[in-house]
Structure 1
Amino acid sequence: MTETSSRMEAACSLLAESERRYLLYQLAETRRGNLEDVVSEIAAWERGEDGTVDSEYRQRIYVSLIHNHLPRLADYDIIDYDLRSGDIVLEEGFDEIRPLLEQFKQTESKPEIRETPLL
């Protein structure tokens, strides 16, 4: 397997999880964000505009981000994050997966996600 194909497989695997995609969609707009804001946005996207987001649901998203999604994205140099401050910043590796992320975004089932361009 070539390095290019293994990197493509890794990118597809990373973007297969909706919470990771939603996180990256949000960060793509400003290249940085705060964990609390990201959790709120992901919860709203997952539950929809009319859905209720209780603290237990937000906590589930928070835990999955800090124990799974953030470390995985950091391992591939797509983001850097600081749990103490809650700051999340896009790294150089993001630019490599951006075209693929844009393709995923165009096919999302939620119109409010599809309609906002990645900057």
Structure 2
Amino acid sequence: MSQLSGARMDDACSLLAEPERRYVLYQLSEHQETTLEDVVSQVAAWKHDELAGEVDSEIRQHVYVSLVHNHLPRLADYDIIDYDLRSGDIVLVDGFDDIKPLLEQFRQTEAIPELRTRPAL
């Protein structure tokens, strides 16, 4: 492994250390593209162990702010996703392939059984 790929791996581990970013990528790995509204609902549900339709609006707002101001920009800076805040569209880009094997390892160890039993990435 070259120094550059080693540094990239360190960055990937740091990115994936946050559950919200992993949850966004699990959602996108199944659909390749989604909307901010759908991601907020699903991330809030996984984070609070509830069904997506039952998540309190205050929790959804907190997750929305966290995603928009922290997690989505970091994933975009790493060239894993592209997102348009105005339209709400979020799509995977080529950089996702770099972290896909690592994300799969994280998925297998998630505390949420639903995430562990989903098909491989």
Q: Which TM-score applies when normalising by structure 2? A: 0.93
1:2 is aligned to 3
List structure 1 segments (4+ residues) > 6 angstroms apart after TM superposition.
none
| Greater Cα offset, 2-11 or 51-60 | 51-60
Aligned residues: 119
1:62 is aligned to 64
1:49 Cα deviation (Å)?
A: 3.2
1:13 is aligned to 14
Q: Which sections of structure 2, spanning at least 5 residues, go unmatched?
A: none
- Which of 78, 96, 113 aligns to 1:94? It is 96
1:117 Cα deviation (Å)?
A: 1.7
Q: Which TM-score applies when normalising by structure 1? A: 0.94
Instruction: Give me the whole-angstrom Cα distance separating, in 2, the residues matched to 1:39 and 1:28.
Output: 15
1:23 Cα deviation (Å)?
A: 0.3
1:72 is aligned to 74
Instruction: Give me the whole-angstrom Cα distance separating, in 2, the residues matched to 1:4 and 1:50.
Output: 38
Counterpart secondary structure, 2:87: coil
Instruction: Give me the whole-angstrom Cα distance separating, in 2, the residues matched to 1:58 and 1:79.
Output: 21
Q: Is the 8 A contact 1:25 1:118 kept in 2?
A: no
The question of 1:43 aligning with 2:44 is answered yes
- State the Cα deviation string for residues 64-100 of structure 1 (Å, max 9, x = none): 1010011101001100000011000000000000000
CA RMSD, 1 decimal: 1.6
The question of 1:32 aligning with 2:37 is answered no
1:118 Cα deviation (Å)?
A: 3.9
Q: Which sections of structure 1, spanning at least 5 residues, go unmatched?
A: none
- State the Cα deviation string for residues 9-63 of structure 1 (Å, max 9, x = none): 0000000000000000000001111000111101111111369521111001000
